[in-house]
């Protein structure tokens, strides 16, 4: 097990005799990497352990899982770059009328549906920015009820499809579960949890005295109308339609994603490697984005296109004027996406939709001609040349650049390092010991203990085992050894087996909103986006609000799961 540290170590630069400090950051990549290197250098790990952690053993294939996840992530993020999710969010908001409670329910259902289809990360990326704008325009301060509802909905919904979360991919690969069978076992617990969480949210933000988002003394936030009875958005239908910046791309990406998911469900029962299904559509989407950027770049180079773009930007100017009418203090907290800008301005999206998994783009305006004026005594360096090439690429292919920057590439080394660490625990006998303990627990408690115990362990270990991905890898390996061990006494109990596996699925997704931000990468991303929008959520606020939500969601989900197991397998 590995406890993630998020901090930095300061080192004084003695060579320059300055007071500046250089920082070495400890995060979800550097800490596992240091751990693996230290164990490898000390002889605890050998080359075979590293190889098994990367290539995989026991049905878990990290390379296939990561290829599947990254390819689906590209399609989802590219679809989001068309403005589809933002357009749908505004459209749903406009359908809510002036009723605040009805709009709150509409957005909750909307985030649930989007989370099921595209996963939690795109919902966090687009939905958080939308809520920052929406709550700022409508004067809802602080936006606690809205942002925590979105975060819970996105993470609950990601449990339904295997493709919606990498933790689901780990489980389906480890236990050879088809996509259809997986969805059939978790959809009812998800629906029950979602139905019970919504009234809890209404009660929670009306009855509890909670600490403010910016810290300080506890206060009754509900006195400030966190869910107002009346809300006026002030956007016309034309302005809502203008948020869809690439209608053809939205249709193309939606059809491609739906077809890909349908084929995944169909071939998961015949043994076809899932990455062979998802990688070609991702390449097709990349080719489409590249073609779109190139044709737009050529069109933009003509004077006629420039005049046309100026004439079609009137709707975006109206949205900007509406934003300028907001109170001065809300401009610091809200980052508005200019809905009327055409596709040639997509390169600005990266500045408005920050991400914690990739560096910020290189702005073309930051590259001055003097940076490339080579003086006689100045050496030719690679950095300015590379920066210039990257800036030109970003200007020519803004959509591709925007999607690649938001792609969770940092998840790849993190996941592989966690696979290696868990493989090391397996080779040293620790996982086998944990499996024996688990076998004793299930022998004494039966199906109820298998479901309740694994659900509890999954939620808790998400906060201390390198996010929910590390927890799923470790607990999945424990279940594998437990099921394969004849000494456990219940290794062939189908009811306990299904109960434990699908309780782990629920816990690995619901555990993202339990105790800490680092319980999931989505939590770290959510906090980062909110912070850059001027909305600061503290660790105590995160725990106090999410703990009752996650408790109710897990309790209801596990109760329904126990009922399913009894109906399917009987009490035994």
Q: What is the DSSP string of 53-70?
A: HHH-STT--HHHHHHHHH
- Which residues, listed in sequence order, are joined to residue 211 by a DSSP beta bridge? 218
Shared domain check, 525 and 498: yes
Q: Is the pLDDT reported for residue 332 higher than 60?
A: no
Using DSSP's 3-state secondary structure scheme, residue 323 falls into helix
**What is residue 437's predicted lDDT score, i.e. its pLDDT?**
92
Range with the poorest average pLDDT among 63-67, 194-198, 292-296: 63-67
Domains: count for the chain: 3
Q: Is the pLDDT of residue 143 over 80?
A: yes
**Which residues span the domain enclosing 488?**
35-56+411-569
In a domain, 75, yes or no: yes
CB count in 10 Å sphere of residue 467: 31
pLDDT at 298 over 50: yes
**Reported confidence tier of residue 123, pLDDT bands at 50, 70, 90:** confident
Domain-embedded: residue 345: no
- pLDDT (mean) for 307-336: 41
Grade residue 224 by pLDDT with cuts at 50, 70 and 90.
low
Q: Are residues 96 and 25 both part of a single domain? A: no
- If one compares 200 and 63, the residue with the highest pLDDT of the two is 200
Mean pLDDT of 56-64: 75
Among 262, 289, 322, the domain-final residue is 322
pLDDT attached to residue 44: 82
Element (H, E) at 21: strand 21-26
Share of the chain above pLDDT 70, in %: 75
- Residue 401 counted as domain residue: no
Residue 329 lies in a domain: no
The number of angstroms, rounded, from the C-alpha of 288 to the middle of its chain's C-alpha atoms is 24
What pLDDT does 441 receive? 93
Average pLDDT over residues 72-76: 85
Q: Is the same domain home to 74 and 41?
A: no
Does the structure show a pLDDT above 80 at 161? yes
- 226 domain-assigned: no
What does the alpha-carbon distance between residue 148 and residue 165 come to, in Å, rounded to a whole number? 19
Mark which of 322, 343, 363 sits at the end of a domain: 322
Across the chain, what does the average pLDDT equal? 77
Do 16 and 86 fall within a single domain?
no
Residues 47, 21 share a domain? no
Q: Give the end of a domain, one of 292, 322, 352.
A: 322
Query: Would residue 391 count as lying in a domain?
Result: no
- Note the pLDDT of residue 182: 92
Highest-scoring range by mean pLDDT, 236-245, 284-293, 326-335, 400-409: 284-293
Q: Using 50, 70 and 90 to split pLDDT, how confident is the model at 416?
A: confident
In DSSP terms, 7 is beta-bridged to 26
- Tens of pLDDT along 483-522? 887 544 444 578 889 999 999 999 999 999 999 888 888 8
Rounded mean pLDDT of 309-317? 43
Mean pLDDT over residues 66-91, rounded?
84
Q: Are residues 515 and 465 in the same domain?
A: yes
80 plus 45 within the same structural domain = no
Please tell me whether residues 427 and 313 are part of one structural domain. Answer: no
Assess if residue 422 is contained within a domain.
yes
Let me know whether 47 and 87 are in one domain: no
Amino acid 503: pLDDT? 95
In 3D space, the residue among 188, 179, 185 whose CA is nearest the CA of residue 161 turns out to be: 179
Same domain, 182 and 278: yes
Residue 157's pLDDT band (cuts 50, 70, 90): very high
pLDDT at 228: 82
Distance (Å, rounded) from C-alpha 531 to C-alpha 548?
A: 24
- Whether the ω angle into residue 142 lies within 30 degrees of 0, i.e. cis, is yes
Residue 438: the pLDDT is 92
Q: Are residues 449 and 526 in the same domain?
A: yes
Q: What is the pLDDT of residue 554?
A: 96
Do 108 and 159 lie in one domain? The reply is yes
* pLDDT at residue 27 is higher than 80: no
Q: What are phi and psi of 126, to 5 degrees?
A: -85, -40
Share of the chain above pLDDT 90, in %: 23
Backbone dihedral region for residue 351 (phi beyond 0: left; psi -120 to 50: alpha; all else: beta): alpha
Q: Give domain status of residue 354, yes or no.
A: no
CB 497, CB 548: distance < 8 Å: no
Q: CA 115, CA 163: separation in Å to the nearest integer?
A: 11
């Amino acid at each position: 097990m590995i406890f993630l540290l998020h901090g930095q170590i300061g080192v004084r630069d003695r060579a320059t005799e300055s007071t500046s400090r250089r920082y070495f950051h400890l995060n979800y990549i550097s800490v596992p990497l240091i751990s693996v290197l230290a164990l490898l250098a000390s002889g605890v790990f050998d080359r075979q352990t590293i190889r098994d952690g990367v290539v995989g053993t026991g049905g878990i294939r990290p390379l296939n899982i990561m290829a599947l996840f990254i390819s689906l992530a590209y399609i989802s993020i590219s679809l989001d770059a068309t403005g589809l999710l933002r357009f749908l969010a505004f459209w749903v908001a406009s359908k809510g009328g002036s009723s605040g409670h009805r709009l709150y329910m509409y957005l909750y259902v909307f985030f649930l549906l989007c989370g099921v289809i595209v996963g939690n990360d795109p919902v966090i990326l687009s939905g958080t920015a939308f809520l920052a704008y929406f709550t700022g325009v409508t004067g809802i301060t602080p936006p606690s009820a809205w942002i925590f509802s979105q975060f819970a909905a996105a993470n609950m919904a990601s449990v339904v499809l295997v493709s919606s979360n990498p933790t689901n991919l780990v489980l389906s690969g480890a236990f050879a579960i088809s996509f259809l069978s997986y969805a059939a076992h978790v959809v009812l617990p998800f629906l029950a949890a979602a139905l019970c969480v919504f009234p809890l949210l209404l009660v929670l933000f009306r009855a509890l005295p909670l600490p403010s988002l910016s810290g300080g003394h506890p206060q009754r936030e509900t006195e400030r109308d966190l869910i107002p009875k009346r809300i006026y958005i002030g956007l016309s239908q034309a302005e809502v339609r203008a948020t869809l910046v690439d209608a053809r791309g939205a249709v193309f990406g939606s059809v491609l994603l739906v077809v890909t998911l349908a084929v995944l469900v169909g071939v998961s029962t015949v043994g076809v490697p899932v990455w062979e299904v998802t990688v070609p559509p991702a390449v097709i989407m990349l080719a489409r984005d590249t073609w779109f950027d190139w044709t737009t770049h050529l069109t933009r180079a003509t004077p006629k296109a420039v005049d046309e773009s100026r004439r079609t930007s009137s709707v975006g100017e109206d949205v900007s004027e509406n934003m300028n009418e907001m109170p001065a203090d809300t401009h610091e907290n809200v980052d508005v996406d200019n809905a009327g800008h055409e596709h040639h301005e997509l390169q600005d999206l990266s500045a408005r939709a920050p991400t914690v998994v990739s560096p910020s783009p290189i702005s073309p305006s930051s590259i001055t001609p003097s940076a490339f004026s080579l003086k006689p005594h100045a050496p030719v360096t690679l950095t300015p040349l590379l920066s210039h090439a990257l800036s030109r690429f970003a200007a020519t292919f803004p959509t591709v650049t925007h999607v690649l920057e938001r792609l969770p590439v940092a998840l790849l080394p993190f996941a592989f390092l966690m696979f290696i660490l868990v493989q090391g625990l397996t080779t040293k006998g620790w996982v086998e010991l944990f499996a024996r303990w688990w076998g004793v627990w299930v022998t004494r408690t039966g199906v109820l203990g298998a479901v309740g115990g694994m659900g509890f362990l999954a939620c808790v270990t998400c906060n201390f085992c390198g996010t929910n991905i590390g927890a799923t890898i470790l607990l999945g390996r424990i279940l594998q050894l437990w099921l394969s061990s004849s000494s456990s006494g219940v290794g062939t109990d189908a009811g306990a087996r299904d109960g434990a596996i699908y309780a782990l699925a629920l816990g690995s997704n619901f555990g993202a909103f339990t105790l800490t931000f680092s319980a999931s990468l989505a939590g770290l991303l959510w906090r980062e986006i909110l912070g850059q929008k001027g909305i600061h959520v503290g660790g105590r606020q995160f725990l106090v609000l999410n703990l009752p939500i996650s408790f109710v969601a897990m309790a209801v989900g596990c109760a329904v799961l126990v009922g399913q197991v009894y109906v399917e397998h009987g009490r035994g």
